[in-house]
Structure 1
Amino acid sequence: MREALVGLEPQDSEPAIVGGVVVVHCLTEEEAEQVRKLGGSVWHVYGKPSGLVVNRIGDLMVTDASVGFRHVREPMEALSEALLERLASPGGTMTRAALGRLANE
């Protein structure tokens, strides 16, 4: 997985990549940490705890149902929260610029 993520690291001189990689199943805590280190987020499916990847502060809890509840989000709501958080972050300027370019294409 580390090899697949090469080149996706944030670059100071380049806009943020507005695409990304979705890892369907992190197999180890080390893989989850690599995703977090590169600015990614780890989502855990509610009711299906993993003995392999620890649910850490900042991870999102999502449901495989169509409606979320309390701290458990449905997938589109979780994606919206993740994007809003990224846009509000100090590095969000480059993300906003990249999204603006995409909107105008």
Structure 2
Amino acid sequence: MTSTIERCAAGIGTVLAPLGLMAVVTVAAPAVSSADCGAGEWWDPVASVCRPPVVPLGCENGAWWDPVANTCRPPVVPTPPLCDNGWWWDPVGNACRPPLIPPG
């Protein structure tokens, strides 16, 4: 009796396995909506429109290109100025400070 039930269960599993796999693939695969975007444009699935190509800007003086805002941003760490006569560079204020004189 047990072997008959096991064989029936195996047969039902064999028949239903491809259907379950198709259901998983259908749920897991994202919906693809294609569009005929031309000349380097790309498809934005959120807005359902073709977007123009994004070209990086030529940023200068250590600035970096922010692709989200499509603009040049200042460097994360500013370039320290050349401090003379024993002055030291204060990275918080990005300025040269006078030498520290010990109390006497």
Shared fold (TM-score, shorter chain, > 0.5): no
Greater percentage in strand: 2
Greater percentage in helix: 1
Q: TM-score range by the shorter chain?
A: under 0.3
TM-score (norm 1): 0.18
TM-score (norm 2): 0.18
**Higher RCO (C-alpha 8 Å, min separation 6):** 1
